[in-house]
Each structure stands twice: as structure tokens, then as C-alpha cells.
């Protein structure tokens, strides 16, 4: 495999959250494939004005990969943009599989995911010692379906920080199931198009999640972070404890 395509995570929306590596690849690419519904035009504006920009939101997998293969074989530098981090609900595996079969290798450049920017807007730590040390990144069902062992009931049962992508349409059922395991007053950050110009976040309680979602008419580009860590600060970490010794602070 000698030809290469770069799959680049461009973060949640704000162009200032691009990595330097992502920026360099956008600026030097000759053909850019991008999902116009999930990536703001401002990010495309960093590309060379002569670069070919191909919108993919209305194309299917075979059409997209065939076009990528053609452009690479023409000797073009091809970059495929994905929102957030490509490894999360990015559908990159199926693209890379087809490209590899055509003897085209791929690299993946990570990006900031929606859960990270949303937590940052509330200065939230999702791993508070003594409360939870685990973050689950998942979804509340949908047409893709969930493996039985990953039912929302099972995911909720350990009371960790739980980030739900792609779930606004399923909020009624999600709230019902989450309330079987979490306290109704558990804090939830709701994020809509976070870091876009019209985006926002709100801190609510789990018992209000469905009503809030319907009142705000949320359907797309919404993330929920449900976490006991958002209201519990019970114990500081060992790392900065004056009595805790480690390699870099032996005394």
C-alpha cells in the first residue's frame, strides 16, 4: 500500500479547537471530503482556495469511497474530514476497509470529541475520586441497535459518568431507564451544537431531562453527560496530596 488518505478529526465545531496537525493537513490537501451537516464552513475556509471540496452528507459509502479512490489514483493529496474524534461514531472502519482493499493505506488524526468540549464548558471533572473513575461513551439505542449486554439499563447500573451521543430522539425512554439506577437529582449537562456560534450547554437534573429536551425541541447534534461527579466533590486526588509520595515528589 503506497497511496495514503488522511482521516482527520476536526473537533466539535470551533475552528480554534483544531489540532495543529489537522490544520496542516487541511491547508495542504488538494481534495477535501467533508460532511457539511457536521462540520462548519469556517473549517473549510482554511483550505487552499484551489482545493476541491466535496460534500458527503447526501452520498452513500460506495460513492464516497469510489471518489476517494479515483482522486488518490490521480495522484491528489486526499483528506477526509470527520467531526469530533473519528473513532467515535465516525463510521471510518467501513471506509478504511474498502480503501485498504484497493491498496490505499489510511492514517487517522484524532480530534476533540463532543463530550470533552461539553464537560470543559462546565469546568467539569468526570472522574472524581471516591465518586466515579469511569466514563462511558455510548448512545441510547436508535436504528443502529445496541448489543444486549450494552443496554442502557446495564450501562447505567454502575452509576459512572455516562455520555450519551445520538440520543435526543430517545430521551423519554432513556430518562425512564436511567432513573432505575441514578438519583433523580443527578446532574446532567445537555449540550447542543457545543462550540458552534449558535451552540449552548445547560446544567439540569436527570428528572427534567425529557421535558427540557422537548421544550428546547432538541433532535440533532445534542449530547448528554449524566454524572454523579457533577455534584459530588467528596475527596481530593492522591496525586496532589501533600502526604502522597511518588517518583517526582519523593519527600
Q: At what angle do helices 61-73 and 92-101 cross, to 10 degrees?
A: 50
Q: How far is the CB of 116 from ligand SAM (least distance, A)?
A: 8
Distance between CA atoms of residues 190 and 222, nearest Å: 7
Residue 78 found at the interface with ligand SAM (CB under 6 A): no
Residue nearest to ligand SAM (CB): 84
Q: Which is nearer to ligand SAM, 7 or 192 (CB)?
A: 192
Question: Per-residue contact track with ligand SAM, 37 to 66, x per CB under 6 A?
Answer: ------------------------------
Q: Which is nearer to ligand SAM, 71 or 193 (CB)?
A: 193
Question: Per-residue contact track with ligand SAM, 155 to 174, x per CB under 6 A?
Answer: ----------xx--------
Give residues with Cβ within 8 angstroms of 153, minimum separation 6: 177, 180, 181
243 CB burial (10 A radius; 0-12, 13-18, 19+): exposed
Residue 12 found at the interface with ligand SAM (CB under 6 A): yes
Contacts of ligand SAM in 80-109 (CB under 6 A): 83-85, 88-90
Q: Which is nearer to ligand SAM, 111 or 228 (CB)?
A: 111
Q: How far is the CB of 87 from ligand SAM (least distance, A)?
A: 8
Q: Which is nearer to ligand SAM, 128 or 171 (CB)?
A: 171
Distance between CA atoms of residues 223 and 202, nearest Å: 11
Strands 78-82 and 3-9: parallel
Distance between CA atoms of residues 200 and 144, nearest Å: 27
- DSSP label at 24? H
- Is-contact 184 204, C-beta < 8 A? no
Could you tell me the three cell numbers for 147?
448489543
Residue 193 found at the interface with ligand SAM (CB under 6 A): yes
Residue 222 found at the interface with ligand SAM (CB under 6 A): yes
Residue 119 found at the interface with ligand SAM (CB under 6 A): no
162 CB burial (10 A radius; 0-12, 13-18, 19+): buried
- DSSP label at 97? H
Residue 32 found at the interface with ligand SAM (CB under 6 A): no
Count of residues touching ligand SAM (by CB under 6 A)? 23
Q: Which is nearer to ligand SAM, 47 or 166 (CB)?
A: 166
Rule CB under 6 A: which residues touch ligand SAM? 12-13, 83-85, 88-90, 113-114, 165-166, 191-196, 199, 220-223
Amino acid at each position: 500500500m503506497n497511496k495514503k488518505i488522511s482521516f482527520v478529526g476536526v473537533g466539535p465545531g470551533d475552528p480554534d479547537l483544531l489540532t495543529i496537525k489537522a490544520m496542516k493537513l487541511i491547508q495542504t490537501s488538494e481534495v477535501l471530503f467533508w460532511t457539511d451537516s457536521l462540520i462548519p464552513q469556517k473549517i473549510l475556509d482554511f483550505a487552499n482556495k484551489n482545493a476541491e471540496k466535496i460534500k458527503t452528507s447526501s452520498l452513500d459509502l460506495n460513492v464516497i469511497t469510489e471518489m476517494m479512490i479515483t482522486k488518490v489514483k490521480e495522484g491528489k493529496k486526499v483528506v477526509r474530514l470527520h467531526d469530533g474524534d473519528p473513532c467515535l461514531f465516525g463510521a471510518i472502519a467501513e471506509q478504511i476497509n474498502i480503501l485498504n482493499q484497493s491498496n490505499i493505506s489510511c492514517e487517522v488524526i484524532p480530534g476533540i470529541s463532543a463530550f470533552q468540549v461539553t464537560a470543559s464548558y462546565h469546568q467539569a471533572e468526570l472522574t472524581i475520586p471516591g465518586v466515579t473513575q469511569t466514563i462511558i461513551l455510548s448512545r441510547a439505542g436508535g436504528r443502529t441497535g445496541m448489543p444486549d449486554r450494552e443496554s442502557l439499563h446495564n450501562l447505567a447500573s454502575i452509576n459512572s459518568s455516562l455520555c450519551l451521543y445520538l440520543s435526543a430522539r430517545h430521551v423519554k425512554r432513556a430518562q425512564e431507564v436511567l432513573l432505575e439506577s441514578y438519583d433523580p437529582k443527578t446532574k446532567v449537562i445537555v449540550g447542543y451544537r457545543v462550540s458552534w456560534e449558535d451552540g449552548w450547554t445547560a446544567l439540569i437534573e436527570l428528572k427534567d431531562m425529557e421535558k427540557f429536551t422537548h421544550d428546547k425541541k432538541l433532535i440533532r447534534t445534542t449530547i448528554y453527560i449524566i454524572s454523579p461527579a457533577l455534584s459530588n466533590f467528596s475527596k481530593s486526588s492522591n496525586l496532589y496530596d501533600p502526604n502522597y509520595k511518588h517518583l517526582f515528589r519523593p519527600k
